Amino acid sequence: SGGRVEMHDLLYTFGKELGSQGSRRLWNHKGVIGALKKQAGADRVRGIFLDMSELKHKIPLDRVTFTEMRKLRYLKFYSSRCHRECKADCKLNFPEGLEFPLDEIRYLYWLKFPLRKLPKDFNPKNLTDLNLPYSEIEEVWEGVKDTPKLKWVDLSHSRKLCNLSGLLNAESLQRLNLEGCTSLEELPREMNRMKSLTLLNMRGCTSLRVLPIMNLISMKTLILTNCSNLQTFRVISDNLETLHLDG
């Protein structure tokens, strides 16, 4: 889709930026873990890509691991062996909590994010793509933050997620994946502001009882499959092309 092409462009830009003098990219798992622990050259790190399936043991990290990474723009903690229905725990943990002052972050993908929410000091003003599948989050972050550039959000299979109010300023959001968020009972009425939203996936949100009346003028695809407790909904969109209600 066009959205994914744009995402590829974002990663292409990342590659170009890393070619500039003085910047660092971290791909090899030993190099990544070494940098996270020692924080050597942290102020030059632009991107971190870590395949957690390469880690043999859980690794405890300090709460200030990311505090000096002021230029970090691309962060991906993933598993090449565990894309979906992943049962393994996150291999990274933060026993004393996490400070996350990443003002420049564009792309954040963290499989099985281990905390209840993103830290208070996280600033998503430049964030374009947020992916926290199979996470432990109960809410995205505390309060409402400005997210003028946020286009794609994937919180799928975050079974403790019960509050989406933190995304109420995400007026540029195009795709929202909430599949398998089994504790989510309702959506905030203020989602009506999301005039750019084209896809809303709530497949398997078994606690969802009602959807508020929303006039989502750009909505093309609405997935409510296996929302077994959904009683009523009224989503208005002249552009709606696909509605999934089976199950």
Q: Which of 213, 187, 215, 189 is nearest to 201 (CA)?
A: 187
Please give the pLDDT value at position 37: 76
pLDDT at residue 16, rounded to an integer: 46
The vertex-229 CA angle with 224 and 232, nearest 5°, equals: 70
Quote the pLDDT of residue 222. 96
Contact call for residues 43 and 69 (beta carbons, < 8 A):
yes
- Model pTM score: 0.87
* CA 165/CA 143 separation, integer angstroms: 7
Residue-by-residue pLDDT tens, the chain, 247 positions: 444 444 445 554 545 454 444 445 666 677 777 777 766 678 888 999 998 888 888 889 999 999 999 999 999 999 887 765 566 677 888 999 999 999 999 999 999 999 999 999 999 999 999 999 999 999 999 999 999 999 999 999 999 999 999 999 999 999 999 999 999 999 998 899 999 999 999 999 999 998 888 889 999 999 999 999 998 888 778 899 999 998 6
- 13, 87, 102 from 93: Cα distances, Å: 30, 16, 18
CB 221 within 8 A of CB 198: yes
What is the pLDDT, as a whole number, of residue 12?
47
User: Measured between alpha carbons, how far is 139 from 144 in angstroms, rounded to an integer?
Assistant: 11
Q: Strand ranges (DSSP E) for the chain?
A: 24-26, 45-51, 59-60, 74-78, 92-93, 107-110, 129-131, 152-154, 175-177, 199-201, 214-215, 221-223, 235-236, 242-244
Euclidean distance between CA atoms 175 and 221, whole angstroms? 10
Give the helix, strand, coil percentages of the chain, each rounded to 5: 15, 20, 60
Determine the residue type at 120. Answer: K
Give the pLDDT of residue 57. 86
What is each CA distance from 27 to 75, 77, 78, 105, 106, in whole angstroms? 10, 10, 12, 17, 17
